[in-house]
Amino acid sequence: MGQNFSAFLLYFALIALVFTGVISGRGVFFAGDISQHYVPWETAVDEEIDDGKFPLWENSIFCGYPIHAEGQSAILYPITRTVYRFFNGARGFSIDMLLHLILGGFFLYLLARKLKMGFYPSLYAGAVFTLAGYPVCLMVNAPILRSVAWVPIIILLTWSVWQGNRFRSSLLLTLCLAMQILAGSIQVVVMTLVFMLFVSICVLIARLIHSKPSISPVLIICLIVIPLAFMISAAQLIPTYELYQRSFIYLDAGDESTSYSFSPYHLLDLIIPPYWAQDKEVLSNSDIPFQMTLFLYIGTIPFVMALIGFFMSRPSWTWKLLAIIGILMGLGGNTFFYPIMLKIFPPLANFRAPDRFLIIYSMSASLLAGFGYRYFLGKELPPDPIIKRKWYILAVIIVPILLFFGLMLDRFLPNATEQIYDDLRFSVFNLISLGNIFSNLSSILNAAKIEIIVAFVLIVVLIVSSILLRKHPSRVFFLGTIIFLLSFCEVGYYLKVNPGTRLISPDYYSMKPASVQAIEFAQSESVPLLNQDYSSNPLKQDESTSDLNRNGPFRISVIGSRSFGETVFGHTPLMLWYHGGATREDFFRFREILNPNFANNYDLDYVSGISSLYTSSWDKFMGIYENQVDKLREDPEFFRNRLHIWDLCGVKYIVSNVELPEGRLELRHHGEVYLYENKRSQPRAFILYPEKVLPETLQVLGAFMLGSVDPVKNIILKTGKESFYQKDPLSGRTNFSPVRINKYENGKVELSGVAVTDGYLILTDAFYPGWECRINDEKKEIYRAYGYFRAVPIESGRFTATFNYRPTSFRLGIITSSIGILIWIILAVFAIIKKETLIEESKEYDLAPARNSNKKLDD
In a domain, 239, yes or no: no
User: For residue 561, which phi and psi values (nearest 5 degrees)?
Assistant: -60, -35
- Top mean pLDDT of 46-50, 244-248, 818-822 is at 818-822
Q: How many domains does the chain have?
A: 4
CB-CB contact of 801 with 755 (8 Å): no
Lowest mean pLDDT among 48-57, 196-205, 832-841: 832-841
Q: What pLDDT, in 10s, does the model give residues 353-378?
A: 777 788 888 888 889 988 888 877 76
**Distance between CA atoms of residues 792 and 794, nearest Å:** 6
**Distance between CA atoms of residues 677 and 525, nearest Å:** 12
- Tell me the average pLDDT across 229-257: 82
Q: What pLDDT, in 10s, does the model give residues 406-445?
A: 555 554 444 444 444 444 433 333 333 333 334 444 443 4
pLDDT of residue 7: 83
DSSP 501: G
Lowest mean pLDDT among 233-242, 263-272, 706-715: 263-272
Neighbouring residues of 704: CB distance < 8 A, sequence distance ≥ 6: 711, 716, 786, 787
> pLDDT confidence of 388, banded at 50, 70, 90?
very low
CA dist list (Å): 141 to 135, 171, 580: 10, 29, 20
> pLDDT confidence of 404, banded at 50, 70, 90?
low
Sign of CA dihedral 152, 153, 154, 160: positive
**Distance between CA atoms of residues 598 and 40, nearest Å:** 6
- Top mean pLDDT of 106-120, 320-334, 371-385, 567-581 is at 106-120
User: For residue 736, which phi and psi values (nearest 5 degrees)?
Assistant: -150, 160
CB-CB contact of 95 with 22 (8 Å): yes
Determine the 3-state secondary structure of 634 from DSSP.
helix
- Is residue 442 located within the same domain as residue 545? no
Residue that terminates a domain, selected from 789, 806, 823: 806
CB-CB contact of 61 with 608 (8 Å): yes
CB-CB contact of 262 with 295 (8 Å): yes
In a domain, 238, yes or no: no
> pLDDT confidence of 497, banded at 50, 70, 90?
low
- Is residue 143 located within the same domain as residue 157? no
- Is residue 145 located within the same domain as residue 177? no
In a domain, 475, yes or no: yes
Residue that terminates a domain, selected from 474, 503, 532: 503
- Is the pTM for the entire model greater than 0.75? yes
- Is residue 666 located within the same domain as residue 631? yes
- Is residue 127 located within the same domain as residue 65? yes
- Is residue 265 located within the same domain as residue 353? yes
Helix residue ranges, H only, 377-500? 385-388, 393-412, 416-424, 430-432, 434-439, 441-447, 449-468, 475-497
Q: Which residues pair with 715 in a beta bridge?
A: 693
Separate counts of helices (H) and strands (E) for the chain: 40, 19
Greatest Cα pair distance in the chain: 121
Q: What average pLDDT is seen over the chain?
A: 72
Q: How many residues does the chain have?
A: 859
Q: What pLDDT, in 10s, does the model give residues 801-830?
A: 999 999 999 999 999 999 999 999 998 888
**Distance between CA atoms of residues 30 and 188, nearest Å:** 23
Q: What pLDDT, in 10s, does the model give residues 610-626?
A: 787 888 888 777 655 54
In a domain, 240, yes or no: no
pLDDT of residue 509: 73
- Tell me the average pLDDT across 686-711: 83
DSSP 688-756: E--SEEEE--HHHHHHHHTT-S-TTTEEEEE-S-S----PPP-TTS-SEEE-EEEEEETTEEEEEEEES
Q: Give 817: exposed, middle or buried? Use CB within 10 Å, 0-12, 13-18, 19+.
A: buried
Q: Is it the case that residue 179 has pLDDT exceeding 60? A: yes
In a domain, 708, yes or no: yes
- Is residue 834 located within the same domain as residue 720? no
- Tell me the average pLDDT across 732-737: 65
pLDDT of residue 662: 63
In a domain, 243, yes or no: no
pLDDT of residue 671: 74
- How far does CA 557 lie from the centroid of its chain? 24
- 264: containing domain: 2-149+248-503
Neighbouring C-alpha atoms within 13 Å toward the C-beta of 440: 16
In a domain, 242, yes or no: no
CB-CB contact of 555 with 652 (8 Å): yes
- Is residue 225 located within the same domain as residue 351? no
Q: Give 707: exposed, middle or buried? Use CB within 10 Å, 0-12, 13-18, 19+.
A: middle
DSSP 224: I
AA identity, residue 241: Y
Q: Give 240: exposed, middle or buried? Use CB within 10 Å, 0-12, 13-18, 19+.
A: buried
Lowest mean pLDDT among 320-334, 589-603, 780-794: 589-603
**Distance between CA atoms of residues 55 and 45, nearest Å:** 6
First to last CA, the chain: 45
Residue that terminates a domain, selected from 623, 648, 677: 677
**Distance between CA atoms of residues 678 and 547, nearest Å:** 9
CB-CB contact of 41 with 80 (8 Å): no
- Is residue 259 located within the same domain as residue 226? no
Which H helix or E strand runs over 666?
A: strand 666-670
Burial 73-85 (b: 16+ CB within 10 A, else e): bbbbbebbbebbe
> pLDDT confidence of 77, banded at 50, 70, 90?
very high
- Is residue 306 located within the same domain as residue 427? yes
**Distance between CA atoms of residues 743 and 741, nearest Å:** 6
- Is residue 658 located within the same domain as residue 533? yes
More confident: 12 or 673? 12
- Is residue 381 located within the same domain as residue 479? yes
In a domain, 241, yes or no: no
